Amino acid sequence: MYEGIIFAGFGGQGIILSGKLICIAAMREGKNVSHIPSYGAEMRGGTANCSVVISDEEIASPLIRQPSICVVMNKPSLFKFEESVQAGGLLIYNTSLIDLKPSRDDIRAVPVQANDLAQEEGNVRSANMIALGLLLRLKPELAALDSVISALDEAVSARNRSLNIINTKSLKRGFSLS
Amino acid sequence: MYEGIIFAGFGGQGIILSGKLICIAAMREGKNVSHIPSYGAEMRGGTANCSVVISDEEIASPLIRQPSICVVMNKPSLFKFEESVQAGGLLIYNTSLIDLKPSRDDIRAVPVQANDLAQEEGNVRSANMIALGLLLRLKPELAALDSVISALDEAVSARNRSLNIINTKSLKRGFSLS
Amino acid sequence: MAKGKPGIDIERCKGCALCIEACPEKILKMSESFNRQGQPYTICFEPERCTSCMSCAIICPDSAIRIWRYVAV
Amino acid sequence: MAKGKPGIDIERCKGCALCIEACPEKILKMSESFNRQGQPYTICFEPERCTSCMSCAIICPDSAIRIWRYVAV
Amino acid sequence: MRNEDADVKLVYSMPESLVDRPNHYCPGCGHGIIHKLLTQAIDELEIREKTIFIAPVGCSVLAYFYIDVDGCEAAHGRAPAVATGLKRVHKDKVIISYQGDGDLLAIGTAETIHAANRGENITVIFVNNAIYGMTGGQMAPTSLASQKTKTSPYGRDPADVGQPIRACELLNTLEAPVFIERCAVNNVKNILKTRKAIKKVVQNQVLNIGYSFVEILSMCPTGWGMTPQRAVEWIDEAMIPYYPLGNFRKKESDHV
Amino acid sequence: MRNEDADVKLVYSMPESLVDRPNHYCPGCGHGIIHKLLTQAIDELEIREKTIFIAPVGCSVLAYFYIDVDGCEAAHGRAPAVATGLKRVHKDKVIISYQGDGDLLAIGTAETIHAANRGENITVIFVNNAIYGMTGGQMAPTSLASQKTKTSPYGRDPADVGQPIRACELLNTLEAPVFIERCAVNNVKNILKTRKAIKKVVQNQVLNIGYSFVEILSMCPTGWGMTPQRAVEWIDEAMIPYYPLGNFRKKESDHV
Amino acid sequence: MAETVLMKGNEVIGEAAIIAGCRYYFAYPITPQNEIPAYMALRLPRIGGTFLQAESELAAINMVFGASAAGARVMTSSASPGISLKQEGISYLSGAELPAVVVNMVRGGPGLGNIAGSQGDYFQATRGGGHGDYRTIVLAPASVQELADLTVEAFDLADQYRMVVVLLGDGYLGQMSESLKLPEPSGKEFDKSSWALTGASGRAPHIVYSLRLSPEPALEEVNLRLQAKYREIEKNEVRFDTYRSKDAEYLLVGFGTSARICKAAVNILRREGIKAGLFRPITLWPFPSLAIERAAGSIKKVLAVEMNAGQMLEDIRLALWTSTSSSRNVVIDFCGRTGGMIPDVDEIVERVRNYEK
Amino acid sequence: MAETVLMKGNEVIGEAAIIAGCRYYFAYPITPQNEIPAYMALRLPRIGGTFLQAESELAAINMVFGASAAGARVMTSSASPGISLKQEGISYLSGAELPAVVVNMVRGGPGLGNIAGSQGDYFQATRGGGHGDYRTIVLAPASVQELADLTVEAFDLADQYRMVVVLLGDGYLGQMSESLKLPEPSGKEFDKSSWALTGASGRAPHIVYSLRLSPEPALEEVNLRLQAKYREIEKNEVRFDTYRSKDAEYLLVGFGTSARICKAAVNILRREGIKAGLFRPITLWPFPSLAIERAAGSIKKVLAVEMNAGQMLEDIRLALWTSTSSSRNVVIDFCGRTGGMIPDVDEIVERVRNYEK
Ligand SMILES: Cc1ncc(C[n+]2csc(CCOP(=O)(O)OP(=O)(O)O)c2C)c(N)n1
Ligand SMILES: Cc1ncc(C[n+]2csc(CCOP(=O)(O)OP(=O)(O)O)c2C)c(N)n1
Ligand code: SF4
Ligand code: SF4
Ligand code: SF4
Ligand code: SF4
Ligand code: SF4
Ligand code: SF4
Ligand SMILES: [Mg+2]
Ligand SMILES: [Mg+2]
């Protein structure tokens, strides 16, 4: 298995956390992982994204030009990354903030009302967990849901740890979608 | 003609000035000249010396390892430079401050009571001019006495120019020695 | 009777709410929807009460507010 | 009657003459000869008048002066 | 109710010298307010065409893109030196050095003090937000005692790293500066005072009076980890008690 | 007349911690006097074996060869930073930063102010001779108005380059320093006062009281183009009126 | 055995320094390495160490000078512009033969540039951006694991040779998280009692300095000693890695992040049956000149891949073009991106494919 | 025609800068170049110029940045440690494409070293001691006359290419007095109206900066432009001198003061019938690689002579060992002195005599 995943959205949507969580979970399951946030040209208040590689083999390059999986949480991210997804790849997009459909038909595009569902679970800030749960459902070989849930306490800073109950619920909710 | 001359003494004895004067004079007479003061390792209050090259040809290296002429105005300078004078070279030494004789016999060593004679001419600070005058007498091909005298106003800073009358007298006095 | 009104450029607004605090008439509030940058933005819910005091505009770091004043012709 | 005397290390002395100014008894002066570094140096020409006040030594930047004091046995 | 017989007059809008482009600052950031005040002063003094603006390295590093005048970059902390170079060449131009607290009081301490001491005829606008905004919230020389930052995670410990430095007080020991004032932009009243001070420090240069300095306490909600509303309160509660507002120096030129 | 019945007692000689080797300073240079005072203090406080001396870049660059303690070099102006590094490692050692005016107030302005502001528990001995001695007599930040130097050949022009900076006054705006005093070594009376101040700034560190600073007006006959005698007068006539002698700050620790 | 953890490169540097016994860290913030000071600020005070945010990079490197002179293990970190400011200090450390570890997480230049990762400071690091004839050992990690291992090693090398060791990363490496096993302390001990400043108690004073005024050849003697030390290091401390290079016809040469890209390219090329291999210098100074010459034996073409305009390229040329070299018919090609851009795997692959034609 | 005068090297730099129209000079004192600030302090105020002693080298180079951005001809000067401190500023000037003349009268290093003349900063000057992929034109005069001529030229080159030109002298050159004819101004004019900061009157604002955050390739574009400019300079601005090299079998290569020593050695060797010649790079960057390769055609042995541990040596190797080089069988020998020492004429002569054996 070799998957190059890009998570993308606003700063503040927990994009980096999604990446870290799946990395920790996959690592614990014995896979090779790398995570690299975009931090380059962007200034404050811009978009955020991170590149995650999960692989059975040693990871040569941690950079991803053509992701096999892309999770986009807002519109600018859809614009920015849709093109780059590998043919046959997976695109999860957050319809709570994206009011149009991906235009490509050579990829698998899966909508998710992440913000709304997160709100339902108790906090809109766990929208990223909804999307991540869904991803785990669609690509179970990446990592087990349980592994991700148990990675939560490690990856979330003390200050925000109280949110983990809702995060867990949201992960499960996302995982339950189909 | 190619002469490598070292003037040496205390800081304050006008060593650098001697070098500059003969350079300007020789230059005006159409010769190639270079002048380089020692400034390297010495700290405040140490000895001063400068290397002067006067040549009919273009000057390759301005540095002098074995001077053909050496004018030493105090004892440490005698110790430092006597050895380096070329065999057959000229050594002028200031017996007002040097109470011993040069030890080499393969060079021409000419004593001069520079301080005392300078005092006689009106100011001990013109001791360097006594020695320089003598040098011009012994090596007339370097530059004419008149050229050196007329270089005085150019080379001496405004502040000290009043001394030039005594400097001129001292140059002549040195030139008159034999 | 309205003395003026704020003109809020909702695309410039970043939703900092400083204007809301600053308005002496307390007639500004945060929108429930988002602008194109994904931010909530300020709206004036009772423009009639605006005194055109300019407080909201003065404090807006994003120059998102202009103030219009009504003057008798 | 001398209370003490300055001991001047003429090879250390640089001839700055600060001690000469500093001596309240005015019993120091510059030599006419030179030391090995080619500098004139301070000499005490009336040691009998020295009060061992140490002024000269205190100001000497080159630690060239020691002060001896005579004490009754 | 809208008076239909009234005409509508625009009484507040963007200053002309402020470029009509969204800025990159975080919501509630004081930089945006200060940019407005500065461009208002430039408009009022009609010096847009002879102003040269120096952006520091800090969150305002791109400020030259927002202010419609000739612009210059300065290496982190060196804006006063760059300003000196510019001013010595263009004595008739208005040189504005805009600097953050890390820039002006940490790495640039020497340049700050020496330009002030020389009395370079320049304008210095000092944005004191008690934090390194751009680099993500490290301790600034002006961060308050026990303030938590990325590099003082247990709170600034004055016994270890000293008390925050007060720029106005420090510069006030020098002879040359003609104007030194501390203001804030955390509420409308303070902003209006700041507006006056900014106009003054620019005008002084136009009139060739000399080195003029204004320190502005400014919100950095992001660096402080606060909402913008909390940030404006924090200036009142925490900053102003340590950094008293007011004028420290005001020399008028003979010919004014 | 010599009393033949009296015994002879040595009442003044070279301090033990002063290395018995001729120094390289010019005749009448104040550095030599200050070295003596410092080594006297080291002797009296019996700290020779726990003192680390930092020589700056300036005429006193070789001072570590004269003071019989562990010695360290600092790049020009950076002695306070080097001192900080040393002290943070050796909290029980006595770190002495000895600096000239070019070093401390020009290139090292930032390091000076920040070490003082942090209240590093170090001793700073500041030799103000109003000139760059080592490099041959250029204008220092402390050169007086209209003083002629190699780089102010027409006399220092305050309108162009500012008034000389007063270090004690500048540092006195900071919270942390516990002791700030200005002295001079141009006559015996002043030297004795300086001796006390130097002892104090060293002792403060031994007692862990905090950052202690002494500024010493010192002769540079060579740089000033004066005889040593004229130089001591010039300190009285020209320097002291601008740099008033006296104590600026004296905090005593609770436990002293 | 140590547990596998996921950590960010910059934080790993901090943790590895602590493992190596570093308790003193002085630095000034700059992107993209701010996680290092943040990490040290959090950790050091809790283990009796000193974290101090200096007022500038200049102050930081001179605090390092002081702490190193005091005999401590000490580190500073920064990124390109900040490292430029440290050049005087690095030259002083080198002249005074003080050990220190300096981390440069290189960003795009010149000038303020940007904050993306770059390798544009290769010359500065390997040729001495400061004045005078000094060298620093330059270590170039290519993974988070190696960041950890080389950080520990850097301290040992610094102490062993009493010199500055530069850890030359780039922005990407510092921001990247990978799984790693934290290294153990090396256990090596270095006796500094003959020179460290600890107070002249029961011994003659120590003096730490780089000024050598007189007698005249004093400074030259220092330089000769330094040069002799450098020759020794060139002999003993060369480190490099190779990947599928044994039978390679095309040798990619890259360090750090570029090497990762190269590795990916090699994998692709090999899958296509093209005999590509990778040579990865780990020490940039001393540069593995002999090793690369040897590796280049059966090589048809060398492709240097860098995130700069061709700096290591010079060292490759110097290595392969020596006048006694058997490998001098090797053509050396170059593929570089600048300004924080990363060379593209596909571009590299394409380039090598074309060699076949 | 200009009169022949005797002037000290450092003062000549000042006078030549004034001849070239430089009216702004910012610097901080350091030996062995203090005669430059002293000269400028005396002269500039009298001709409407600005001499300003900066509070540090950092301030000085950034004042240069400001004055250059303002459109003025501007110079700073220093010596080794001070030049290290200017590296960040030089990188910024390079990134912002601002013209400036930076004089380095090199002294012995590393660290505080001493104040004797040295060539130990060759790498720093030619490889960019600052961060990022920039270059500066580096001019290496070997006589007081050339100091004057190259100073004037430096200003023209700086303006023409909008970049930093480094005048790399050494302590000896600066202290030396020789006869010279002061040069005339070149008369060249450079239009800076498209970028200089003069107030945005009747035109769009100019911005002088080196930050290129976005879009992503912005910084790379700058770098590509810079690199293209550098290639152009490598083509057009190479300067060198040869002396009795036509039929030479042994080629001495040296610059600056070393070249003077070499010349003396060549004279002695030729008198002995040994066919020695001199190749003297005048531009150290761009290095006269092609010229030296051509000059080395009939050469048996090259002897690089430097006042450092062998820095230009690398450029000679790169020039002569190119993979297409016809001259690669040439053996390159090296003779260097460090720490402010000067290579000895006799030693060089002896070395070459031994080649004959
Ligand atoms: C030489 C150098 N050191 C450090 C940095 C990194 N840096 C960029 S901005 C900044 C500080 C910003 O703080 P401040 O000046 O207070 O401005 P703010 O962002 O708070 O407005 C730092 C340290 C740099 N760019 N250059
Ligand atoms: C970075 C650097 N800049 C400049 C110098 C040259 N320099 C040596 S000492 C000195 C100033 C000396 O003046 P001061 O600090 O007042 O000491 P003083 O000699 O007067 O005692 C300068 C500029 C240097 N060595 N290093
Ligand atoms: S102008 Fe004044 S009253 Fe009107 S909305 Fe703004 S703050 Fe409120
Ligand atoms: S102050 Fe401006 S940016 Fe902030 S909420 Fe109000 S309108 Fe929006
Ligand atoms: S001890 Fe006093 S009285 Fe005696 S010589 Fe010295 S200064 Fe004069
Ligand atoms: S003070 Fe000292 S050095 Fe000066 S003259 Fe007196 S004894 Fe000599
Ligand atoms: S980090 Fe702070 S100073 Fe920077 S833009 Fe955000 S709020 Fe403003
Ligand atoms: S130059 Fe001045 S400070 Fe330096 S040794 Fe001479 S008198 Fe003392
Ligand atoms: Mg700030
Ligand atoms: Mg001084």
pLDDT tens for each residue of H303-322: 999 999 999 999 999 999 87
User: How far does the centroid of ligand 3 lie from the alpha carbon of residue B65, in Å?
Assistant: 87
- Asked if residue G110 has a cis previous peptide bond (ω within 30° of 0), the answer is yes
- Higher pLDDT: D3 or G223? It is G223
Ligand nearest to the Cα of F227, by number:
8
Query: So what's the pLDDT on residue H278?
Result: 98
How far CA G214 is from CA of F133, F134, G218, H118, in Å, comes to 19, 16, 6, 16
Which residue in F106, F240, F232, F103 sits closest to F182, CA to CA? F240
C-alpha span between A29 and G227 (Å, rounded): 50
Identify all chain F residues contacting D27, using CB atoms and an 8 Å cutoff.
none
E161 vs F106, F118, F174: nearest CB: F118
Q: Residue written as tokens 């009796």? A: G48
Give the CB-side neighbour count of residue H344, counting CA atoms within 13 A.
6
H177 & H199 share domain: yes
C-alpha span between H48 and G87 (Å, rounded): 36
D16 contacts D56 by C-beta, under 8 angstroms: no
Is residue F115 classed as helix, strand or coil in its secondary structure? helix
Q: How many domains does chain F have?
A: 1
Which domain covers residue H303, as residue numbers? 242-355
Query: So what's the pLDDT on residue B6?
Result: 97
H236: Cβ–Cβ under 8 A, 6 or more apart, which residues?
A: none
F27 contacts D15 by C-beta, under 8 angstroms: yes
- Higher pLDDT: A75 or F210? It is F210
| pLDDT 10s digits, A12-37 | 789 999 999 999 999 999 999 999 99
Q: Are strands E246-250 and E179-184 parallel, antiparallel or unpaired?
A: antiparallel
Question: What's the complex ipTM?
Answer: 0.97
Q: B61 and H263 in contact by Cβ < 8 A?
A: yes
H278 contacts H305 by C-beta, under 8 angstroms: no
3-state secondary structure H314-355: HHHHHHHCCCCCCCCCCEEEEEECCCCCCCCHHHHHHHHHHH
Query: So what's the pLDDT on residue H229?
Result: 98
C-alpha span between G2 and G179 (Å, rounded): 12
Give the CB-side neighbour count of residue A101, counting CA atoms within 13 A.
7
Task: Please check the confidence at residue B46 and state whether its pLDDT lies above 80.
Answer: no
Task: Please check the confidence at residue E109 and state whether its pLDDT lies above 80.
Answer: yes
Task: Please check the confidence at residue B148 and state whether its pLDDT lies above 70.
Answer: yes
- Given H176, H204, H236, which residue is the final one in a domain? H236
User: How far does the centroid of ligand 9 lie from the alpha carbon of residue E130, in Å?
Assistant: 6
Identify all chain G residues contacting B43, using CB atoms and an 8 Å cutoff.
213-214
Q: Which residue of B has its CA nearest to H32?
A: B39
G353: Cβ–Cβ under 8 A, 6 or more apart, which residues?
A: G269, G272, G274
| Mean pLDDT, residues G144-157 | 98
H70 contacts E90 by C-beta, under 8 angstroms: yes
How far apart are the CA of F43 and the nearest CA of chain D, in angstroms?
16
Q: How many CB atoms lie within 10 A of CB F5?
A: 8
Which domain covers residue E152, as residue numbers? 31-249
Q: How many CB atoms lie within 10 A of CB A98?
A: 20
C-alpha span between F184 and F236 (Å, rounded): 9
E strands in chain C: 4-8, 28-34, 40-44, 65-72
CATH number for the domain that contains residue E61 = 3.40.50.970
F79 lines ligand 2 (CB under 6 A): no
Q: E132 and G57 in contact by Cβ < 8 A?
A: no
Query: So what's the pLDDT on residue A45?
Result: 57
Ligand 3 pocket mutation, candidates C41, C43, C46, C52, criterion most atoms within 8 A of CB: C52
Identify all chain F residues contacting B46, using CB atoms and an 8 Å cutoff.
24
E149 lines ligand 7 (CB under 6 A): no
Q: Are strands C4-8 and C65-72 parallel, antiparallel or unpaired?
A: antiparallel
- In the structure, what pLDDT confidence band is assigned to residue B47 with cuts at 50, 70 and 90? confident
Query: So what's the pLDDT on residue A12?
Result: 79
Query: So what's the pLDDT on residue F256?
Result: 43
Query: So what's the pLDDT on residue C38?
Result: 72
C-alpha span between H63 and H76 (Å, rounded): 9
Does residue F147 form part of some domain? yes
Quote helix, strand, coil % in chain G, to nearest 5: 40, 20, 40
CATH number for the domain that contains residue G74 = 3.40.50.970
G138 contacts G166 by C-beta, under 8 angstroms: yes
Query: So what's the pLDDT on residue C71?
Result: 85
H38 & H166 share domain: yes
Does residue E255 form part of some domain? no
G147 & G44 share domain: yes
Query: So what's the pLDDT on residue A92?
Result: 98
Q: Which atom in ligand 7 lies closest to the alpha carbon of residue E31? A: 8
Q: D38 and B10 in contact by Cβ < 8 A?
A: yes
H324: Cβ–Cβ under 8 A, 6 or more apart, which residues?
A: none
| pLDDT 10s digits, H266-316 | 999 999 999 999 999 999 999 999 999 888 778 999 999 999 999 999 999
Q: How many CB atoms lie within 10 A of CB E21?
A: 9
- What integer best gives the mean pLDDT of chain E? 96
G209 & G338 share domain: no
Task: Please check the confidence at residue E1 and state whether its pLDDT lies above 50.
Answer: no
Q: Which residue of G has its CA nearest to B39?
A: G213
| pLDDT 10s digits, D5-25 | 999 999 999 999 999 999 999
| pLDDT 10s digits, C5-42 | 999 999 999 999 999 999 999 999 999 887 877 778 99
Which residue in H199, A175, B127, H260 sits closest to E91, CA to CA? H199
Q: Which atom in ligand 8 lies closest to the alpha carbon of residue F219? A: 7
User: How far does the centroid of ligand 9 lie from the alpha carbon of residue H39, in Å?
Assistant: 41
C-alpha span between F146 and F154 (Å, rounded): 7
Q: H81 and F141 in contact by Cβ < 8 A?
A: no
G218 & G320 share domain: no
Distance between alpha carbon E237 and the CA centroid of its chain, in Å?
20
Q: How many CB atoms lie within 10 A of CB B159?
A: 8
- Contacts of residues E36-39 at CB distance under 8 Å and 24 or more positions apart, as own/partner, are E36/C61, E36/C63, E37/E185, E37/E191, E37/E194, E37/E195, E37/E198, E38/E67, E38/E96, E38/E98, E38/E125, E38/E198, E38/E202, E39/E15, E39/E67, E39/E68
CATH number for the domain that contains residue G282 = 3.40.50.920
- Which of G30, G131, G334 best tests the H interface by mutation, with the highest count of H CBs <10 A? G131
User: How far does the centroid of ligand 3 lie from the alpha carbon of residue C67, in Å?
Assistant: 8
Task: Please check the confidence at residue B40 and state whether its pLDDT lies above 90.
Answer: no
Does residue E151 form part of some domain? yes
Q: Is D72 exposed, middle or buried (0-12, 13-18, 19+ CB in 10 A)?
A: exposed
Domains in chain D, please, with CATH?
A: 4-69 (3.30.70.20)
H/E stretch holding F6? strand F6-12
G223 contacts H337 by C-beta, under 8 angstroms: no
- In the structure, what pLDDT confidence band is assigned to residue E4 with cuts at 50, 70 and 90? low
G232 & G284 share domain: no
Instruction: Tokens for G114, please give them.
Output: 């940007």
| pLDDT 10s digits, H204-230 | 999 999 999 877 789 999 999 999 999
Number of H helices, E strands in chain G: 13, 15
Q: Residue written as tokens 């006419």? A: D32
Query: So what's the pLDDT on residue H335?
Result: 97
- In the structure, what pLDDT confidence band is assigned to residue F189 with cuts at 50, 70 and 90? very high
Q: Is F26 on the interface with B (CB under 8 A)?
A: yes
Q: H69 and E75 in contact by Cβ < 8 A?
A: no
Task: State the CATH class of domain A2-176.
Answer: alpha beta
Strand partners of residue A79: none
C-alpha span between A85 and A102 (Å, rounded): 11
Q: How many domains does chain H have?
A: 2
- Higher pLDDT: D47 or B158? It is D47
Query: So what's the pLDDT on residue B41?
Result: 43
Is residue B108 classed as helix, strand or coil in its secondary structure? strand
Least confident of A147-156, E94-103, G45-54, G315-324: G315-324
Does residue E19 form part of some domain? no
H211 & H275 share domain: no
pTM for the full model? 0.97
Query: So what's the pLDDT on residue C73?
Result: 62
C-alpha span between E115 and E84 (Å, rounded): 7
Q: Is G205 exposed, middle or buried (0-12, 13-18, 19+ CB in 10 A)?
A: buried
| pLDDT 10s digits, F59-78 | 999 999 999 999 999 999 99
Task: Please check the confidence at residue B10 and state whether its pLDDT lies above 90.
Answer: no
G206 & G328 share domain: no
| Mean pLDDT, residues G187-214 | 96
| pLDDT 10s digits, E128-149 | 999 999 999 999 999 999 999 9
Return the partners of chain B (3 or more C-beta pairs < 8 Å). Answer: D, F, G, H
- Higher pLDDT: E74 or C2? It is E74
Strand partners of residue B92: B71, B110
| Mean pLDDT, residues F135-140 | 97
Q: Return the DSSP state at G286.
A: S
Does residue E137 form part of some domain? yes
- Residue ranges per structural domain of chain A: 2-176
Does residue E194 form part of some domain? yes
Q: G171 and A40 in contact by Cβ < 8 A?
A: yes
H211 contacts G114 by C-beta, under 8 angstroms: yes
Q: Are strands E6-12 and E51-55 parallel, antiparallel or unpaired?
A: unpaired
Identify all chain A residues contacting C34, using CB atoms and an 8 Å cutoff.
97
- Residue with CA nearest ligand 4 atom 6: C19
Query: So what's the pLDDT on residue A65?
Result: 87
Identify all chain F residues contacting H79, using CB atoms and an 8 Å cutoff.
none
Q: F73 and G202 in contact by Cβ < 8 A?
A: no
C-alpha span between E184 and E217 (Å, rounded): 4
Q: Which residue of F has its CA nearest to H41?
A: F151
Positive or negative, the CA dihedral A163, A168, A173, A178 is positive
E16 contacts E45 by C-beta, under 8 angstroms: no
| Mean pLDDT, residues A114-120 | 95
C57 lines ligand 4 (CB under 6 A): no
Task: Please check the confidence at residue A145 and state whether its pLDDT lies above 70.
Answer: yes
Query: So what's the pLDDT on residue A42?
Result: 43
Task: Please check the confidence at residue G325 and state whether its pLDDT lies above 60.
Answer: yes
Number of H helices, E strands in chain D: 2, 4
G174 & G207 share domain: yes
D60 lines ligand 5 (CB under 6 A): no
Query: So what's the pLDDT on residue H327?
Result: 62
| pLDDT 10s digits, A81-115 | 999 999 999 999 999 989 889 999 999 999 999 99
Quote helix, strand, coil % in chain F, to nearest 5: 40, 20, 40
Q: Is F77 on the interface with H (CB under 8 A)?
A: yes
- In the structure, what pLDDT confidence band is assigned to residue G214 with cuts at 50, 70 and 90? confident
Query: So what's the pLDDT on residue A22?
Result: 97
| pLDDT 10s digits, H97-149 | 999 999 999 999 999 999 999 999 999 999 979 999 999 999 999 999 999 99
H137 contacts H111 by C-beta, under 8 angstroms: no
